[in-house]
């Protein structure tokens, strides 16, 4: 396939973490924050939740993309323990409850990625799952971690790329998936739109 790296990547997310990850690919991109409704019907499977929300976020910025040659990228991440979805905590008490559930156990992190190619409107939606084992924590440790403010806006109330790294014993799967944007998956998806992450560095 002919590679066309003149296509702009549009990240449909206000997340600074996703922005930092996308920047690692060295492709030109801009951010258009998506204020999509993030409610899903009860009983939806975790993979369906992240896939539908990723697509909804990408679709929400379609009109703002202004008909340029671009690929819109939407992404959504949730934490799942024993089939129960843990979203972002409502308050510090909610953070405490989540961290008490997660400590000493292995949970799954699901991230959905949706790409919409413009102007042709081709859409791809995929997801990845990573297993994360958190070490056992005492109540004082949980309090100290909440006091740092880091868990406040994170699914599952921890950040693997921050101080939360000290809570993580083991992961199985893509690390970047846990941060919020699985880069190996995204690179593969972008190549389907003719955008080559590695091909632009020198001839191919």
pLDDT in tens, 143-183: 999 999 999 989 999 999 999 999 999 999 999 999 999 99
Predicted confidence band at 6 (pLDDT cuts at 50, 70, 90)? confident
Active site amino acids: 76
Query: Does 198 or 152 have the greater pLDDT score?
Result: 152
Predicted confidence band at 34 (pLDDT cuts at 50, 70, 90)? confident
36 close to 15: Cβ distance less than 8 angstroms: no
Report domain extents, the chain: 8-191
Predicted confidence band at 2 (pLDDT cuts at 50, 70, 90)? very low
pLDDT score for 98: 97
Which CATH number fits the domain 8-191, given the four candidates 3.40.50.2300, 3.90.950.10, 3.10.20.90, 3.20.20.70?
Answer: 3.90.950.10
* Nearest alpha-carbon partner for 54 in 73, 40, 80: 73
pLDDT score for 199: 74
């Amino acid at each position: 396939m002919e590679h066309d790296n003149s296509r702009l990547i549009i990240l449909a997310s206000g997340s600074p973490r996703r922005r930092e990850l996308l920047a690692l690919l060295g492709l030109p991109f801009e951010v258009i924050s998506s204020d999509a409704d993030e409610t899903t019907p009860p009983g939806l499977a975790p993979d369906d939740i992240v896939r539908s929300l990723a697509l909804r976020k990408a679709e929400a910025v379609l009109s703002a993309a202004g008909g340029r040659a671009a690929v819109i990228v939407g992404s959504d991440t949730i934490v799942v323990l024993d089939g129960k979805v843990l979203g972002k905590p409502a308050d510090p008490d909610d953070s405490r409850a989540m961290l008490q559930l997660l400590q000493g156990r292995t949970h799954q992190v699901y991230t959905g990625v949706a790409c919409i190619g413009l102007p042709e409107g081709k859409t791809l939606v995929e997801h990845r799952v990573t297993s994360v084992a958190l070490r056992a924590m005492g109540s004082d440790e949980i309090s100290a971690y909440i006091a740092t403010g880091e868990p406040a806006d994170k699914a599952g109330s921890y950040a693997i790329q921050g101080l939360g790294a000290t809570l993580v014993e083991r992961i199985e799967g893509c690390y970047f998936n846990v941060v919020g944007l699985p880069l190996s998956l995204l690179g593969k998806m972008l190549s389907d739109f003719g955008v080559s992450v590695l091909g632009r560095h020198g001839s191919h």
